[in-house]
Amino acid sequence: MDYTINIISLVFALLGFGYGIWQSRKISYLKKAVNDNVKGLYKDSQQIIIMAKSNAALGEIAERGRKIKDNIIRLDIINRNLNFKEIDKLKDKGTLSVSESDEYKRLSSN
């Protein structure tokens, strides 16, 4: 009887340890993805400021603005853990317009 309880305890301990490692990797991935997007936002915003000061072409500024918007959408996708099904639910609720949901799907990796 004591032996069975020890085995069951060991199995639960191993499952808990495995779950902890899985969560740690998932959090590490999310941190990296968010940091990469934030760095991209910062870099693109700095480029826009530099171009605006030097009276650069509006097309270049618009392109940088589009990159910032894409990074913000990616951060929102990561933050809300969205997939195609969740994006469709937000569209049906009216949270996202049809064009916004199409753009979210385009930028989503799912």
Residue 8 lies in a domain: no
Q: Give me the pLDDT at residue 56, please.
A: 67
Q: Give me the pLDDT at residue 33, please.
A: 79
What is the secondary structure of 57-101 as a DSSP string?
A: -HHHHHHHHHHHHHHHHHHHHHHHT--HHHHHHHHHHTSS-HHHH
Q: Give the Cα separation of 75 and 73 in Å (integer).
A: 5
Instruction: Report the mean per-residue pLDDT for the chain.
Output: 82
Residue 78 lies in a domain: yes
Given a cut of 80, whether residue 106 has pLDDT beyond it is yes
Residue 56 lies in a domain: yes
Residue 15 lies in a domain: no
> pLDDT (tens digit, 9 = 90+) per residue, 45-66?
888 778 777 776 777 777 878 8
pTM of the predicted structure, to 2 decimals: 0.58
> pLDDT (tens digit, 9 = 90+) per residue, 12-38?
889 988 988 988 888 888 788 777 877
Residue 10 lies in a domain: no
Count of the separate structural domains present in the chain: 1
Give the pLDDT band of residue 1 (cuts 50, 70, 90).
low
Give the domain extent around 102: 30-107
